[in-house]
Chain A
Amino acid sequence: MCNAFGIVNFAGLNVKIKGLQDYRPAGAISFLGRYRLIDFPISNLSNSGVNHIQVHIKDKPRSLIEHLGTGRHYNINSKRGKLHILPAKSDVESEFYNHDIACYMYNMRAIEQVSYPYVILVPSHMIYRMDFADLLDRHIESGADITMVYQSVDNAKEAYTDCDVLNLNKQKGVLSIEKNRGNYKTRNISLETYVLSKELFMDLVKQAANTSSLYWFRDIVNDQCSELDIRAVSHRGFFACINDFKSYFEANMSLLDYDKAMDLFDDEWLIYTRTNDSCPTQYYPTSKVQNSFVSNGCTIEGTVENCVIGRGCTLKKGSVIKNCVISPGVTIGEDVHIENVVVDKNARVSRKKELIGEPGNPMYVKRDDLI
């Protein structure tokens, strides 16, 4: 048991995942074949003993709502626990006003009624493993007003564009939050994870709404850096921020390094997802598979190398699939050669025999597309 409730926030305007995000919110994007991005923050919360989890959602909610369902599969207590889906206001004038503060204001009653004194706020588009019960203990012990989480990276020039960066003093106090414009190699990327009391959270939300109609939660926290005691905790280990198409592809690919994958996945820290009741995967005599993650329900007759293959894919005879991320339900036809491609859900590639993207700049095949 953890004396906090969780809020899973939707992605900010800095998250632009070409193609994939046109059909679904970032949290509902398929990851490593059998998961969706939101499985990671929710499993972290659930494994930390957080029993009450609010998921705030805005546009294109269909696939996310379907995936979350009752929340039973996240191992949340079915009576004392709750997975609460809170939709944002639907009649906003412009996407710019459709921020997390607006959603929290709109759902303030639901937040107010929660009986836990602390809140753990997490993003839906970042992948990392963290015990929030420990984080909450640290937060309470330190006496800080807000505890944030960051990861120190050394590739901030080419990645993490427009992500939040924490400027820290030597005692890990947060001096300010700024956007990563790619000016420095080494930066402290914010995991957009906040621990604070429910009371302060509600105060800040209201204050943000009164300060500016364009403020996100991170903006009001930034404003308060000199007033409040805001401290940062460093996260080590696997971390992926899925903020664009490239980072999506690379995060999938990086887990093909098995040691990295085992850094994220732990037998004692399960990542839950919605079961699809698919049967095991069938490898036929003509198949040749190497260095790949393959989900259940596939039938494989082709060659697969360095790929992530989603549930229920059909890879026919003579097909060659290299360095690809294949979403669930995809069919790759006979003798089709694809390389460096992200194929979205249920697409079928059969007539065109060659689709080759550049390494580092993968191609994208749309959902339900027929090629």
Chain B
Amino acid sequence: MRQNNMLAMILAGGRGTRLEALTKKIAKPAVYYGGKYRIIDFPLSNCANSNINVVGVLTQYESVLLNSYSAAGSRWGLDARDSGVFVLPPREKDGAAFDVYRGTADAISQNIDFIDSHSPDYVLILSGDHIYKMDYSKMLSYHRQSNADATIAVLPVPMKEASRFGIMNTNEEGQIVEFEEKPEHPKSNLASMGIYIFDWKQLRKMLVADMDNPDSNHDFGKDIIPTMLNDGKRLFAYQFKGYWKDVGTIDSLWEANMDLLSKNNELDLNDASWKIYTEDVATVPQYIGKNADVDNSYINQGCIVDGKVKNSVLFTSVKVAKDACVEDAVLMPNVEIGEGATVHRVIIAQGVKVDPGAVVGDPNSEHIELVSKRVR
């Protein structure tokens, strides 16, 4: 079932330090989001829905869970013949020193042999920690139409925030004329989403050169893209419309979950034509009890709710006991809220118990609190 000759590589090695205890034992792409998903479900499902057959997942930081999770290709329908999810942590090779991935570009360089073995025409580079729905096959059509050497997906951001991003300055045809990393005085508001399509042969040459360059950071944004522009290559910006979030902090992870509560939210996870696939868990449906009061919330299977839940996202098998009050909260799988406890403006990590009567979080807090230990 060969659909298009593009192979995807998902960069999933980052820790996401600002997510504090959530990424102590797992890498950021494995962090939970949206009631039942992990962040990496989004790029993987996008690949599957875009008819990409072969996906490499580059892992490094705390990769045990992420490796086994991603490798189950059947979850995403990436298990047909000539199809698969290949987990690629750094490995020892014949004739080369065993080393970590030194940067985003180096992670690809160290897997040139893997990509060659599938002989793709195009390689799609993705980040494993972004939340969005995107049809990469449309981006590939654009790449072919514009006869580009590389295509970079960009997202219009508010002008006043543009200095936080890598900004692409383009001409009328959409060709990139300049790339500025976090510019003080941005000339455009088109932010790079860290999604690239390259012609494999060209990229391969550049990666080989980059590997031995002692001055390089081995990074796509810092090295490969600027070099291509300097060499006068045809780089095009592909404008993406829709929901896109990079959840770097506890506050932004919380916000991204809250975004799902608004009616007709842009991400629309209920869209049957572009499903996001994830691990299948065998639990009973959610049970909403006799004393429950559920208001404006997003609740997954296996939950047992007998208290008050408002403006919250409840993951698999969360328990909220009678007279407990949960507001503006994100409760990750198997969290238990005891009788009479009150919970405000928090993210509670997987499996944490809040004892009866305990008070967690503050309704007037500026920031969102992360609760990762039992609350007595």
A-side residues, CB < 8 A to B, are 32-34, 72-73, 258, 261, 265, 270-273, 275, 277-285, 287-297, 299, 304, 308-309
Contacts and interface: CB of A to CB of B under 8 A. Distances in A.
Interface string B101-117: 00000000000000000
Given A275-B280, A277-B275, A283-B296, 4 more contacts: A261-B287, A290-B291, A290-B292, A291-B288
Contacts of B304: 258
Nearest to B295: A285
A258 B290 CA distance: 10
For chain B, which range describes its interface: under 10, 10 to 19, 20 to 34, or 35 or more residues?
35 or more
Interface string B294-312: 1111111100100000000
A282 B280 contact: no
Nearest to B270: A279
Contacts of A272: 282
Contacts of A291: 288-290
Contacts of B290: 290-291
A293 B285 contact: yes
B64 interface: no
B276 interface: yes
Interface of B: 34-36, 74, 260-261, 263, 269-270, 275-278, 280, 282-301, 304, 313-314
B300 A280 contact: yes
A33 B302 CA distance: 12
A296 B269 CA distance: 12
B132 to A, nearest CB: 15
25 contacts: A34-B284, A34-B285, A258-B287, A258-B304, A261-B287, A270-B282, A271-B284, A277-B277, A279-B270, A280-B34, A280-B36, A280-B269, A281-B286, A283-B297, A287-B294, A290-B288, A290-B289, A290-B290, A290-B292, A293-B284, A293-B286, A294-B288, A295-B285, A296-B300, A309-B285
A340 B311 CA distance: 31
A136 to B, nearest CB: 24
Contact of B263 (A258, A270, A284): A284
Contact of A279 (B34, B284, B289): B34
B294 A283 contact: yes
- Nearest first, the 4 A-B pairs at minimum CB distance are A280-B35, A279-B269, A270-B282, A275-B280
B282 A273 contact: yes
B285 A33 contact: yes
B287 A293 contact: yes
Contacts of B285: 32-34, 293-296, 308-309
Nearest to B45: A277
